[in-house]
Amino acid sequence: MEMERQHRRQDRWRRRLLMCRHLCRQRRGMAWHYCVINATVPVLQRYYGGEDTRPDFRLGREAMQQLMVALKTDRQHGWGPTLETLVFLFWLATGSAYRVVSRVFNMPLPTVFRVVHRMVDEVVAVLPHFVHLPRIQEELQVVGGGFARLAHHQAFGKAAGAVDGCHIRIKCPGGPDGHDYHNRKLFPSVVL
């Protein structure tokens, strides 16, 4: 059983190596370089041209730089930390399918999948440094008091956090107003 598994791994490795050699022969002058940034991609032209990044990534340039510093993305292989962060942020900001992100960045679909999942893991790893709920009663009262002041209502005095613009899936209430709970994504939800 173990020998068979090892043999399959070696076969997969050989096929990948042959495919890579085949691709490199097709791209003369670019041997073994598959991670090439396409400078004609409009999203990248706007980013590297110094334009506002909010329309594409929903984050300003300063916030993006802070995110890259926090993630400590110092990889020197693959597509590079900047491009991988841009792919991840575009996927997150637009809610697009991997196929769409692949076309936007002119990047292979499996690569987009791997980049997004690797970046999710990196963000989740540093998340506790930036997002935390109150740990003691006094912290909860301070945070709740802040929410109550913002909302101008004491009902928010027990709030410990907020999620911005998330569609929370619900069981659709019956009756004549049930259709009012269907969102643009075609499932019943409430927005917090």
The model carries a pTM of 0.61
For 155, the token pair is: 């009902």
State which amino acid sits at residue 130. F
Answer with the residue of higher pLDDT: 137 or 172.
137
Residue 1's pLDDT is 75
Give the up-direction half-sphere exposure of residue 13: CA atoms within 13 A in the CB hemisphere: 6
CA Rg value for the chain: 23
Question: For 99-138, what is each residue's pLDDT tens digit?
Answer: 999 989 888 899 999 999 999 999 998 988 888 788 888 9
CA distance 19 to 103: 22
52 contacts: CB under 8 Å, gap ≥ 6: 46, 60, 61
Span 144-152, average pLDDT: 90
Phi-psi label, residue 68: left if phi above 0, alpha if psi -120 to 50, beta otherwise: alpha
**Which residues does residue 169 pair with via DSSP β-bridges, in sequence order?**
189
